[in-house]
Amino acid sequence: MRQTARDVPRHRAALARLRGCGLRPTRQRLELAGFLFRDCDRHVTAESLHDEVSKAGIKVSLATIYNTLHQFTEAGLLRQVVVDAGRSYFDTNVGDHQHFFLEEEGHLIDIPGDMIAVSNVPVPPEGLAVERVDVVVRVKRA
Amino acid sequence: MRQTARDVPRHRAALARLRGCGLRPTRQRLELAGFLFRDCDRHVTAESLHDEVSKAGIKVSLATIYNTLHQFTEAGLLRQVVVDAGRSYFDTNVGDHQHFFLEEEGHLIDIPGDMIAVSNVPVPPEGLAVERVDVVVRVKRA
DNA sequence: TCATAGTTTAGAACTATTCTAAACTGTTGA
DNA sequence: TCAACAGTTTAGAATAGTTCTAAACTATGA
């Protein structure tokens, strides 16, 4: 048994997902998609994802991790979350929701969209249109 | 008239402000406070503030700008606003309010606290306490 | 199977920020 | 008034995260 047991259904799902958004299914993108969309709702940084796949014995350069995270984001497979000046987070949950952010450990927790609401978002100044409303609830260990 | 005309009331205000929070009133801190708290509600980055004072012929190193912005933030004179992974903004308005963010030009606009509200901030998971709720309304030129 | 366009990569480059340690300055007390 | 000290500033080096470059590689379609 020389070959690593590969999770075939997961591979197929990743393949379909990439095909679905016109991204050529390369080994790297398939493997990264496999990790990202394995279970629901993950939050990763380029670094954390790189560590994770590296530890699993998969070789993907950091540059490719960055490229892939951005391509996935553009394709709507990921959402970029800005909570920390100096580090980018990516969220596999692209639906309507917001976040708790545990600054001390750089950890994000989803808040379902229907559990939080911003009332009365004011009309933006002349010539501007709202693109998205992001809420970050900064939390601390009590 | 060799000496630059100095805005005496502004200088006094800056002095009082620094004294008020136990920061030694050095030339650099006084000058930066003068720029930051001259008019109400400003949004600066380290770079933008450095450019501004430099153009006014004032010599303050970038390291000092960073130090000062952080010290002022700790002292409650400024509030750090996270809207962009990769660049820190500081806001002279430390009252309850939120922001429009014009990503394309890196520009912030205040939203008064009473014009926007987050309803039903959910109770954070066990052991965590809410520190602050930040809302960023990302806008685009229409 | 080939040609081609798209992709990956190591490493250099870049940007924002922090660190270091030496020089400088505001404050305090005599 | 002034010395002494602690706090502050600074240039420049260092670091962290990210992007760029250009050469090698690979998926795809004919």
Give the mean model confidence (pLDDT) for residues B87-96.
97
User: How far is residue A96's CA from residue A41's CA, in Å, rounded to a whole number?
Assistant: 12
Task: Spell out the alpha helix ranges (H) of chain B.
Answer: 8-20, 27-36, 46-55, 62-74
Q: Is A106 left (phi over 0), alpha (psi -120 to 50) or beta?
A: left
What's the token pair of residue A128? 């501007």
Q: Which of B6, B27, B26, B34 is nearest to B92 (CA)?
A: B34
Residue B74 Cα to chain centre, angstroms: 11
Residue nearest to nucleotide D6 (CA to C1'): B24
Between A142 and B78, the higher pLDDT residue? B78
Report whether pLDDT(A17) > 50. yes
Report whether pLDDT(B1) > 80. no
Pair B110, A125: CB distance under 8 Å: no
**Residues at the strand C interface (Cβ < 7 Å):** A 23-24, 26-29, 59-64, 67-68, 85-86; B 24-27, 45-47, 62-63, 66, 70, 86-88
Q: Which of B73, B82, B90, B136 would you mutate first to test chain A, the one with the most A CBs within 10 A? A: B82
Q: What number of other Cβ atoms are within 10 A of residue B17's Cβ?
A: 20
- Are the beta carbons of A86 and B84 separated by less than 8 Å? no
pLDDT value at position A3? 40
Pair A43, A108: CB distance under 8 Å: yes
Pair A29, A18: CB distance under 8 Å: yes
Write out pLDDT tens, residues A63-81.
999 999 999 999 999 999 9
Q: Burial-class residue B86 by CB neighbours within 10 Å (0-12, 13-18, 19+).
A: exposed
User: How far is residue B87's CA from residue B99's CA, in Å, rounded to a whole number?
Assistant: 16
The chain-wide mean pLDDT, for chain A, equals 93
Pair A137, A108: CB distance under 8 Å: no
